[in-house]
Amino acid sequence: MINKLTIIGLGLMGGSLAKALKAQGAVVEVVGTGRRTESLDRGLQLGVIDSYTLDMAEAVAGADVVVIATPTLIAEKVMAELAPLMTPNMVVTDVASVKGNIQRAAEQIFGQVPPNFVLGHPIAGSEQSGVEASAVDLFLDHRVILTPLANTSDSALSLIKAMWEACGAEVVCMDVAEHDAVLAATSHLPHVLAYTLVDALAQNGAAADIFKFAAGGFRDFTRIASSDPTMWHDIALANRDAILQGIDAFSSHLDLVRKAIADGDGDTIFASFDRAKHARDEHFLGQYLTREKKPPSS
C-alpha cells in the first residue's frame, strides 16, 4: 500500500497509473504536479488525483513514491528539479520510453543513479495522450520493464514492482542497453516508419486521393502516426544510436526487397513475405503454419 503517490506530469501514463492504483485500493492519496494547471484541473475533476500543486517541493513532501511521467527529455529536467527534494524514504521512478538517457542524466545530476530511483517503462499505451485518455485498465495484462542497476535498493525495486503488479501488469527486469535496443526495434522504429510514410505521402500532390482510397491496411499500419509528435521527437533524440541501427538494418532489408521487385525475382519476394507472415502469425496468433515456403504459382 502506498500512502502518498506524487505524479509529475499528469497525462495518459500518469493518469492511468493513478486510476489503476485507486481502483485496486493500493494508494491512499494521489497528488499531481506539473507546469500548467490545465491537465491537473481536469485530473482533479475526473477524480484521477486528490489534489495538485504547481510547487514541486510541496507536491513531493512526504511522498512514498514519486513518478516522473512527463515526455522523455523533460524527465531529465524534472530530475534536476527533484534532486534537492529527494529524501531516503522516498522512492522515485519514471515511465519514459528510453532508459539510457534517463540513466545518464541521473548520473550527471547525482553522481550515480540513487539507490531509491528505479528506472521503469510500461509497455502499454496508445496513440492518444493527455489525462482525458487515461484508462484504469491500460496496464492490465501488459508488461512493465524495470531496469535496476547494481546499486538499486531491493526495497525500492520491490515497491515499484508491487505498484505495477497492483495495476495487473507483469514486471520484467532488463539491462538498460538491452531495453533501449529492443524498444528501438519493436516500438521506436515502427513509429519512425509510420510517421515517415504518412509524411511522405501527405507531401505528395495527390495526398487527398491517396488517403481517400486507402484501405484498412493503411489505417492499421499508420495508426501510430497519430501519436503525440512531442513525445516521439523526444524518443528519437533520446535513443539516437539504437534507432539509427534499426533504420540501417531495415534499409538494407528494404533494399533487398526493392532489388527483388526491380528484377522480377518472385522467389525472393515471396520468401521474404512468407517469413514475415510466419514470424508474425506464430507470435501474435499462436499459429505455426506448415505450408511449403514457395510461391503459390511456381
Ligand X SMILES: NC(=O)C1=CN([C@@H]2O[C@H](COP(=O)(O)OP(=O)(O)OC[C@H]3O[C@@H](n4cnc5c(N)ncnc54)[C@H](O)[C@@H]3O)[C@@H](O)[C@H]2O)C=CC1
Residue with smaller CB distance to ligand ENO, 71 or 125 = 125
We find the least distance from the C-beta atom of residue 168 to ligand ENO, in angstroms, to be: 16
Q: Which of 224, 225, 236, 238 binds ligand ENO (CB under 6 A)?
A: 224
Residue with smaller CB distance to ligand X, 114 or 122 = 122
Considering only the stretches 57-65, 92-100, 101-109, 207-215, report the one whose residues sit in contact with ligand X under the rule CB under 6 A.
92-100
Q: Which of 51, 53, 126, 245 binds ligand ENO (CB under 6 A)?
A: 126
Residue 185 is classified by DSSP as I
Considering only the stretches 101-109, 117-125, 195-203, 272-280, report the one whose residues sit in contact with ligand X under the rule CB under 6 A.
117-125
Give yes or no for a contact between 42 and 159, defined as CB atoms under 8 angstroms apart.
no
Give yes or no for a contact between 198 and 222, defined as CB atoms under 8 angstroms apart.
yes
Q: What angle do CA 151, 152, 156 make, to 5 degrees?
A: 150
Give yes or no for a contact between 159 and 91, defined as CB atoms under 8 angstroms apart.
yes
Residue 231 to residue 233: CA distance in whole angstroms: 6
- Residue ranges of alpha helices (H) inside the chain are 12-23, 37-45, 56-60, 72-82, 100-110, 154-166, 176-183, 189-202, 207-212, 216-222, 229-238, 240-263, 266-280
Q: Is 216 exposed, middle or buried (0-12, 13-18, 19+ CB in 10 A)?
A: exposed
On the CB side of 159, how many CA atoms lie within 13 Å of its CA?
25
We find the least distance from the C-beta atom of residue 224 to ligand ENO, in angstroms, to be: 5
φ, ψ of residue 126 in degrees (nearest 5)? -165, 180
Residue with smaller CB distance to ligand ENO, 170 or 255 = 170
φ, ψ of residue 295 in degrees (nearest 5)? -60, 140
What does R_g of the chain's alpha carbons equal in angstroms? 22
Using rule CB under 6 A, residue 72 touches ligand X: yes
We find the least distance from the C-beta atom of residue 237 to ligand X, in angstroms, to be: 12
Considering only the stretches 5-13, 20-28, 173-181, 242-250, report the one whose residues sit in contact with ligand X under the rule CB under 6 A.
5-13
Within 233-252, which residues bind ligand X (CB under 6 A)? 235
Residue with smaller CB distance to ligand ENO, 5 or 224 = 224
**Site of grid cell 502469425:** 281
Residue with smaller CB distance to ligand X, 131 or 149 = 131
We find the least distance from the C-beta atom of residue 66 to ligand X, in angstroms, to be: 12
Q: Which of 29, 41, 50, 127 binds ligand ENO (CB under 6 A)?
A: 127
Q: Which of 44, 123, 159, 247 binds ligand ENO (CB under 6 A)?
A: 123
Using rule CB under 6 A, residue 274 touches ligand X: no
Residue 268 to residue 265: CA distance in whole angstroms: 6
* Residues in contact with ligand ENO by the rule CB under 6 A: 97, 123, 125-127, 187, 224
Residues that bind ligand X (CB under 6 A): 8-14, 34-35, 39, 69-72, 74-75, 78, 95-97, 121-122, 125-126, 129-130, 228, 231, 235
